[in-house]
Structure 1
Amino acid sequence: MNFAKPYEDLREFVAELDKHEKLYRIHKEINKDNELQPLVRWQYRGGIAEEKRRGFLFDNVTDGKKRKYNCRVLVGGLSGSEAIYAMGLKCAPEEVPDRWIYALEHLVPPVMVDSGPAQEEVHLGTDVLAHGGLQEFAIPMSTPGFDNGPYITAGHWITKDPETGQRNVGNYRGLIKGKDRCGLMTGTPQDLTNQWEKARRMGKPLEVAIVVGTIPVVSYAATQKVPPDVDEIALAGGLQGAPVKLIKCKTVDLEVPATSEIVLEGIISTKYMEEEGPYGESMGYIDPRTLSFVFELKCVTHRKDPIWVSIISQVTPSESSKIKAMGMSTLIKRYLHKKGFDTVHDVHLIEPLVNLRPYVAVSLKKRNDQEPWDVMQGILDYGDRVGKMVVAVDEDINIKDPVAVTWAITHRSQPHKDFKIMPDRPFGATPIGMVATHPSSRYDNCESSVLIDATRKADFPPLSLPKREFMVRSKELWEELGLPKLEPQEPWHGYLMGYWPEDLSQEADLAAQSEHEKVWEKLAQTRAEVGEGDTIKTMRARWGKTHSGRSV
């Protein structure tokens, strides 16, 4: 695989976004607590097409008290769109899946360097609070009106297993609780949670370094669920085809990318937990509050004029859903291929409103009628709470288009035989899981999944659009006439699906050549006399016996 020269730092990537008109530079004074994220939110809820989305770089950030910050804020700059994400990998959008597969099979271990821009400024001891601690940075509010404080949303939490030394890099949210404290929200099956449990049993805190703002490949690796023995930094190296440069932290036994914008060093206490939340979740509802870990800040290092990175999350589509979807669909597809399902063509996690994991579509070229069910069960087996609804479709369906998937469900499946309910599934990110145990709730305290086989079980007549050659020629005419630019949506031409009698094909060819008289002559020979007592139903029934497979 060919790789371009990797980005040296986040700033080089931001400059590339600017060069390709994928960045808005906002110089107007913006309140981080009630204006910044809502402004960017309109890019996702304002009817703007994905290909027109950009990152936002704010350089005049304040708060409700008119506090000034010596840092800029980047939102939407890591994965505001597929095009932005692909630029982070220095490849075309259609090359992203192959880049992920290559990286998983060709990990590139990091290299240590003596120093780096990440430690241009160092605040230790009393200097941490003297410079403001966590309040030194313009950390935005994510869901003004519901969140109870700013959250770290693009923090890559670097830890090591206390027993094995295995590094883990994960992206977790953190509620700011003071100048030197913040929350940490993790689920029970997370690697960091397992490391915390080990540290607790050993009677010591878990050391951590939170990296905010680094080369894109590290962010892309940190937001994916990979096996515990995979070092996300080595995975990031595989994504860029070159090792990531690391430096030693100042106060903890950890390493961080040398060109990071901001590094927060400290510990996660194993002696206490605190309530954390509320926070707007990606399934589109506010998660009120839960008990979680607390990070204690010990040291701050950062570049001069640092960039604070914030990921816009909550209701999908969002930057959060895009950064996860771009890698996760490939990980699931790779998993299915390794399980022997080599007929799987593609996997897509449907994004708008539902939050990726619950709604999965898979396209395949099935060899038999059992294969779609086996493939869908394989997706449930992938884990990570994937698949409240799993739909299997044929290769001709564009699974990135929810309307096309609905079209397949509507016209290629029969609910009484092609829908299967799978009980006793774990709750994913859903409000039902939050309220199921409430006394007034009418939900069961358990989840289930539905598998839908929306593949064809018989030959179908053609799709009712003009054949490809006629649509291609008419597109050329459209452009010659100077009409508005087209953005073709699949399906945009008719095609065969197994059933199409030769005589109908011949008639269509004649008609396209304007040989209408020949078609008239042929149709005149199909006349059927109406007998005494005949109805349209009896006529069509009699006709259908000699014209098997045609509409009656």
Structure 2
Amino acid sequence: MPIEDTGGLIEALEEAGELRRVTGQVDPDLEIAEILRRVMYSKGPAILFEDVKGHSMPVLGNAFGSEKRMQIALETEDFTEIGQRIVDMTRMEVPHGMLGKLRKLPELSKMGGAFPHVEKGGPVTEVTGEIPSLDALPVLKTWPGDAGRFITLGLVATRHPDTGVRNLGVYRMQVVGKNQLIMHWQKHKRGAHHSEIARESGGRIEAAVIIGAEPATVFSAVAPVPEGLDKYLYAGIVRKEGIRTVQCRTIDLDVPANSEIVLEGYVDPAEMLEEGPFGDHTGYYTPPEEYPVFTITGMMRRKKPVYLTTIVGKPVLEDAYIGRVIERSFLPLIRMLQPEVVDFAMPPSGWFQGMAIASIKKQYPGQAKKVMMGLWGTGQLSLTKMVIIVDHDVNVHDIHDVIWAMTTRADAARDITIIRDAPTDTLDPASPIVNLGSKMGIDATQKTPEEGYSRVIQEQVQSDPDTAQMVDSRWESYGI
């Protein structure tokens, strides 16, 4: 059975020795964030703060801050299998004839089991009808230069106004009143796209902010799934079982039934406020900029909810491990689009959007550049600043091996590609204009005569096999 909610995650982490409880009183204004950063940088456990100053709700942080905790949360040790399920679904043949349909029933039933289903009630509907107020939530201020308190791990649910496809995205939100937040959804994100479609029709977009849910749903909100794939369905694919949802009370959206807290409301693109600064995952403060306001119209919650949060800043922090799962789970999808790709990595120190490395089985001249362009044309990878392509014998997860390939197989004048005036991540502190900058591709593959390499390819040094085998057999006798 998959983990059903935040409480189930706490139990699983505690049983595995991956969680510590802090019983002394802590302040949501900077203190909790300072504690969490120190724990994250030292690769410490998840922390449950049980006594938060001014609030009755406990705060859970660093719940996903290690590969082991991600394995516990998603109940798998092989994250690539998540993406493989989607690839298998896309390749599923349509059965012909009665016998063919009978043979396909097991596969079809697995796919159908991933679909969400609406129920009349659930844990999140235990308390409804309250006058919604953000004062009840232990929202953190995380950096001294932040403009205020920010919700950092709220899953923002919207629905495409035309297709009805549901989306979940994680966008930070600044508290500006008891019932208003500033919605920092960047123009490249689907929530902002849904809002723009609604604006063109002269309306506002309904939205719900989910705080605490099944781990698979939290991961699905962060994951850059293929366009058109319903995020609730993707959550079911991740957890191998469809999520349960309930209808919101004041807006026409359904939300995960096992949520801890749900804020219902709408975003009016005509109502803008200055948001920020905010200490972001680049390690810099994002400067103030106008974003639309989210107005709360209702709130549902459990009787005793847990407030799930995260802290961002200069890498490597908790988000690096979520990013690692995205990297692994999307490898099968990348391979489906770029079959020559052997492996793929997005180093956490490059805040993931800053750099991507791919190894390929090279078969023809110019293939590395072809893969670069393909990656830049794939979903959110379009915002990646630097792409490095190496041969299949290079370990993309060993930055030393990658640097060795860059310095021994790439010539600066020949193998560096610069693309000007391309889309960039809104948070990129180096781009000359917000959302617009340049990209760099480095072809660090071994060049061939067809690519103008006229020299004899130098032979790599390798141990003598017989000597290596002899040393292996005598290793213990050396006493090293």
* TM-score bin (small chain): 0.7 to 0.9
Corresponding residue of 2:310: 311
Q: What CA deviation, in whole Å up to 9, does each residue of 1:252-275 have, x standing for no partner?
A: 111111111111111112431111
Q: How does 1:247-286 map to 2 (within 5 A)?
A: 247-286=246-285
Corresponding residue of 1:362: 358
Say if 2:127 is the partner of 1:116.
no
Shift of 1:240: 1.1
Say if 2:47 is the partner of 1:56.
yes
Q: Distance in 2 between matches of 1:322 and 1:454?
A: 27
For 1:123, what is the secondary structure of its paired residue? Answer: coil
Say if 2:94 is the partner of 1:98.
no
Corresponding residue of 2:339: 342
Say if 2:401 is the partner of 1:404.
yes
Q: How does 1:178-217 map to 2 (within 5 A)?
A: 178-217=177-216
Cα distance, 1:246–1:411 mapped onto 2, change above 3 Å: same
Q: Distance in 2 between matches of 1:91 and 1:474?
A: 38
Corresponding residue of 1:517: none
Cα distance, 1:28–1:157 mapped onto 2, change above 3 Å: same
Shift of 1:104: 5.8
Cα distance, 1:307–1:421 mapped onto 2, change above 3 Å: same
- In structure 1, runs of 5+ residues without a counterpart are 438-444, 484-552
Q: Are the counterparts in 1 of residues 310 and 318 from structure 2 also a CA contact under 8 Å?
A: yes
Amino acid at match of 1:102: R
Say if 2:68 is the partner of 1:83.
yes
Shift of 1:446: 5.3
Shift of 1:174: 0.3
Corresponding residue of 2:56: 70
Say if 2:414 is the partner of 1:417.
yes
Corresponding residue of 2:430: 432
Corresponding residue of 1:27: 23
Q: Are the counterparts in 1 of residues 40 and 65 from structure 2 also a CA contact under 8 Å?
A: no
Amino acid at match of 1:432: A
Q: Distance in 2 between matches of 1:164 and 1:276?
A: 30
Q: What CA deviation, in whole Å up to 9, does each residue of 1:287-313 have, x standing for no partner?
A: 111111111112111112211111222
Shift of 1:416: 2.8
Shift of 1:449: 1.9
Q: Are the counterparts in 1 of residues 87 and 333 from structure 2 also a CA contact under 8 Å?
A: no
Instruction: Choose 1 or 2 for highest CA Rg.
Output: 1
Cα distance, 1:229–1:141 mapped onto 2, change above 3 Å: same
Q: What CA deviation, in whole Å up to 9, does each residue of 1:478-520 have, x standing for no partner?
A: 9xx8x9xxxxxxxxxxxxxxxxxxxxxxxxxxxxxxxxxxxxx
Identity %: 27
Runs of 4+ in structure 1 deviating by more than 6 angstroms, as ranges, are 464-468, 474-478
Over the aligned positions, Cα root-mean-square deviation in angstroms equals 2.5
After TM superposition, the score normalised by the length of structure 2 is 0.86
Q: Are the counterparts in 2 of residues 379 and 386 from structure 1 also a CA contact under 8 Å?
A: no
User: Bigger shift: 134-143 or 377-386?
Assistant: 377-386
For 1:271, what is the secondary structure of its paired residue? Answer: strand
Corresponding residue of 2:139: 139
Corresponding residue of 1:533: none
Q: Are the counterparts in 2 of residues 273 and 291 from structure 1 also a CA contact under 8 Å?
A: yes
Q: Distance in 1 between matches of 2:252 and 2:424?
A: 36
Q: Are the counterparts in 2 of residues 272 and 293 from structure 1 also a CA contact under 8 Å?
A: yes
Q: Are the counterparts in 2 of residues 72 and 307 from structure 1 also a CA contact under 8 Å?
A: yes
Shift of 1:58: 0.8
User: Bigger shift: 182-191 or 465-474?
Assistant: 465-474
Shift of 1:283: 1.9
Q: Are the counterparts in 2 of residues 273 and 292 from structure 1 also a CA contact under 8 Å?
A: yes
Amino acid at match of 1:31: D
Shift of 1:465: 10
Say if 2:368 is the partner of 1:372.
yes
Q: Which has the higher contact order (CA 8 A, sep 6+)?
A: 2
Corresponding residue of 1:15: 11
Shift of 1:356: 0.7
Q: Distance in 2 between matches of 1:387 and 1:298?
A: 37
For 2:394, what is the secondary structure of its paired residue? Answer: coil
Corresponding residue of 1:507: none
Q: Are the counterparts in 2 of residues 117 and 258 from structure 1 also a CA contact under 8 Å?
A: yes
Q: Are the counterparts in 2 of residues 160 and 167 from structure 1 also a CA contact under 8 Å?
A: yes
Cα distance, 1:114–1:346 mapped onto 2, change above 3 Å: same
Amino acid at match of 1:300: M
